[in-house]
Chains A and B, each alone.
Chain A
Amino acid sequence: MAAITMKNIVKRYGDGFPAVNDVSIDVQDGEFMILVGPSGCGKSTLLRMIVGLEDITDGDMLIGDKRVNDLAPRERNLAMVFQNYALYPHLTVYENIAFPLRLAGAKDEEVDQKVREASKTLELDEHLERKPGNLSGGQRQRVAMGRAIVRDADAFLFDEPLSNLDAKLRGQMRTEISRLQKRLGITTVYVTHDQTEAMTLGDRVAVMKRGILQQLASPRELYENPGNLFVAGFIGSPPMNFLPAEVDGTTVKLPFGEVQIPEEKAARARGKGLLIAGIRPEHFEDASVVDPSKQGSTFRAKVDVVEWLGNEAYAYIPFEAPPEVQKQLAQLEKDLDGESLRTQLVISLDGASRISEGDDAEIWVDTSKMHLFDPSTGENLTVDESRAGRIPERENPEAAAQAERMADEGDEIHSADPAAQE
């Protein structure tokens, strides 16, 4: 077991495209670290650099105290689970799990003992003599994990291990991985594009975009104190609402009316002109079911669509945004791999709420949880830095700006050559 330290890691491909840009992450011994971001953000590339399948252009990769930049994968003593599992189809499940031990030249009794132990942990006992081709997706996934845990590796690396499973199985395997990691207490780096996996599994989560680390923090910190618009939009489902806002005193002018925010938040955002307010769906509520003693503001709006889910309901309220905000939100959607549709507010209502479609409803909003973002930079003006983990952009704005510029150049390289997209 060992810590993994990445210092200013850079990966530039042959065509000059910077896949990973000046990323520094320290994974502590025994920690479950998640690398998350939309497709093409460099998370998988970073993982492959840790394991040694991808050369490191610049920076230092340390496992324990040893610099491993120039070591071959087999010399790094890491175990990896691939997205498509990469099982050896010509070998039985038993031999698949035994493969790393056989390569290490272990004795037959030792191999047998360790393989049986791993198969027991993963409940693969009755499948040991089968070939991977005859297994279901979940079983294959467990075999791939068996191959990883059978060795005494310094760390586990997972590359989107659940993305090929159906939703139900994914949920089960997620808890299974979490349980396994807790029990073995082994350093783990886990790549995913799914924010739910990131939130539920990680001790800490590194959010990446265009090869640049956006924020490195615990799931709670990311959720409550996103460092910028991107992180705020990425973490949480349904996503955070973004509304055009103007601050005047402690009053915030939103498309639906004016609300009051606490002075300490207002002070940071005052005099900056048009801003983007970010409010999570659950910080709204049907005013009629809210305890009147609770702090917050109310406004009236016409509810367009209601989706009732039993324990809660989502209400949708369309609104108009000024062009500059609209542009920024469209760009954000693009960064998040989404499509920009109409600008609308998503509100999570209590299951007891009687608001129905077409109603002109009274909505309560908990403004103390509101965040205010600078529309031009996307920076969160109201972030509580003491509880936001690491935000590289704030630690070293110059380096972050430099990395952004390189990412822009990279985009140009790729937009000039569509074939390089793949």
Chain B
Amino acid sequence: MSTKNRIGVVIGAVLILVWCLLPVAWIISLSFKSQEAITTGSPGFLPRDGGGAGWQNYSDVIADDQFRRAIFNSIGISLIATLLSVIIATLAAYAIARLEFKGKKFVLTTALIIAMFPVVALVGPLFDMWRTFGIYDTWLGLIIPYMSFTLPLAIWTLSAFFREIPWEMEQAAQVDGATSWQAFRKVIVPLAAPGVFTAAILTFFFAWNDFVFGISLTSTEAARPIPAALSFFVGNDPFNRPASLLAAGAVVSTIPIIVIVLLFQRKIVAGLTSGAVKG
């Protein structure tokens, strides 16, 4: 690569980074300003003299019972939904990639159609149904829609992954004396691990970031997840929303996501299958 090219790449990367990270940086900046400084107008990126709040906003947010409860709800609901979704998707995707059965196309198209359905269109019916079933405002009431909306993506991702794994791997395992289940567990699942973790991350994102279900299918802090909780976070004066506190809350609520991504990313080792077959 010539120097000219390299400079171009660096400039491009910086532009994209600024474009993507500026809002995030601004949220972080806001979260360190005091409420007064924001109300009176504080356009600078760094807090002006006396306008800084230090860690006060963060300790306030964390001290807040509602907020802690919402974080707990979000983590619990998202993790359970992710786990269930990935397990079901793994089994389904394996069947789709490997077995010939009637209705295979049907399953795949149905999955795609579900993914195309606008979430908002389902909120009304779900609200009614969940109240009748008695799972309105419960974890289960959120886990079910999260699962059903993330399954299609997970199934498609994973079945693509399974298709990449050479048939011979399982056949070799079977000839070596494995049952179909052993071949799946000892050979296929380890090989598909990057795919499984990719699907898990995507599912977790969806569940964590969801707002529409979170706000419509909950009414109390029993199950309200963090995005919905943030919108209810009005403070003392309903006409004057505590922007700095909200900013701090938003920053805190992104931390679990970052942790999860870092954890899973290590598992997504690309090219794990290289060396299985020739080349």
Taking beta carbons and an 8 Å cutoff, which residues of A are in contact with B? Answer: 51-53, 72-74, 78-80, 82-90, 99-100, 103-104, 131-135, 137, 140, 147, 151, 164
- What would 8 A/B residue contacts be, using CB atoms closer than 8 Å? A82-B171, A84-B278, A85-B276, A86-B166, A90-B190, A100-B176, A132-B275, A137-B278
Interface code B161-191, partner A: CB below 8 Å = 1, 0 otherwise? 0000010110111111111001000010011
Residues of B within 8 A of A53 (CB): 171, 174-175
How far apart sit A32 and B178, CA to CA, in the bound complex (Å)? 27
Closest to A14 in B: B100
Residues of B within 8 A of A51 (CB): 175
Query: Per a CB cutoff under 8 Å, which of B166, B176, B191 touches A99?
Result: B176
Verify A140–B278 contact, CB threshold 8 A.
Answer: yes
Check B272 for interface membership: any CB of A closer than 8 A.
Answer: yes
How far apart sit A133 and B271, CA to CA, in the bound complex (Å)? 9
Verify B178–A85 contact, CB threshold 8 A.
Answer: no
Verify B175–A89 contact, CB threshold 8 A.
Answer: no
How far apart sit A231 and B176, CA to CA, in the bound complex (Å)? 35
Query: Per a CB cutoff under 8 Å, which of B171, B173, B175, B178 touches A78?
Result: B175
Verify B274–A89 contact, CB threshold 8 A.
Answer: yes
Check B273 for interface membership: any CB of A closer than 8 A.
Answer: yes
CB of A86 to closest CB in B, whole Å? 4
Taking beta carbons and an 8 Å cutoff, which residues of B are in contact with A? Answer: 166, 168-169, 171-179, 182, 187, 190-191, 271-278
With contact pairs A86-B166, A89-B191, A103-B182 given, residues A80 and B175 touching in the complex (Cβ less than 8 Å): yes
With contact pairs A99-B176, A104-B177 given, residues A89 and B171 touching in the complex (Cβ less than 8 Å): no
Verify A74–B275 contact, CB threshold 8 A.
Answer: no
Residues of B within 8 A of A140 (CB): 275, 278
Verify B182–A73 contact, CB threshold 8 A.
Answer: no
9 tightest A-B CB contacts, nearest first:
A133-B275, A84-B277, A86-B168, A86-B172, A100-B176, A132-B275, A89-B276, A164-B278, A103-B177
Verify A87–B276 contact, CB threshold 8 A.
Answer: yes
Closest to A133 in B: B275
Query: Per a CB cutoff under 8 Å, which of B168, B171, B271, B276 touches A73?
Result: B171
CB of A95 to closest CB in B, whole Å? 10
Verify A87–B275 contact, CB threshold 8 A.
Answer: yes
Closest to B191 in A: A90
Verify B169–A86 contact, CB threshold 8 A.
Answer: yes
CB of B80 to closest CB in A, whole Å? 28
How far apart sit A72 and B275, CA to CA, in the bound complex (Å)? 27
Residues of B within 8 A of A80 (CB): 172, 175
CB of B176 to closest CB in A, whole Å? 4
Closest to B273 in A: A89
CB of A107 to closest CB in B, whole Å? 16
With contact pairs A84-B278, A90-B191, A133-B275 given, residues A73 and B169 touching in the complex (Cβ less than 8 Å): no
Verify B274–A73 contact, CB threshold 8 A.
Answer: no
Query: Per a CB cutoff under 8 Å, which of A79, A88, A104 touches B175?
Result: A79
Verify A131–B275 contact, CB threshold 8 A.
Answer: yes
Verify A103–B176 contact, CB threshold 8 A.
Answer: yes
CB of A406 to closest CB in B, whole Å? 24
Residues of B within 8 A of A52 (CB): 174-175
Closest to B193 in A: A90
Verify B174–A74 contact, CB threshold 8 A.
Answer: yes
How far apart sit A133 and B278, CA to CA, in the bound complex (Å)? 9
How far apart sit A137 and B190, CA to CA, in the bound complex (Å)? 23
Query: Per a CB cutoff under 8 Å, which of B176, B273, B277 touches A85?
Result: B277
Residues of A within 8 A of B182 (CB): 103
Verify A88–B276 contact, CB threshold 8 A.
Answer: yes
Query: Per a CB cutoff under 8 Å, which of A89, A100, A131 touches B177?
Result: A100
Residues of B within 8 A of A90 (CB): 190-191, 272
CB of B67 to closest CB in A, whole Å? 42
Closest to A74 in B: B177
CB of A146 to closest CB in B, whole Å? 12
How far apart sit A73 and B171, CA to CA, in the bound complex (Å)? 8
Using A78-B175, A133-B271, A147-B176 as known contacts, list a sample of 20 further A-B pairs with CB atoms less than 8 Å apart, ordered by residue number in A: A52-B174, A53-B171, A73-B175, A74-B175, A74-B179, A85-B276, A86-B166, A86-B168, A86-B169, A86-B276, A87-B275, A89-B275, A90-B190, A103-B177, A132-B275, A132-B276, A133-B275, A134-B275, A140-B275, A140-B278
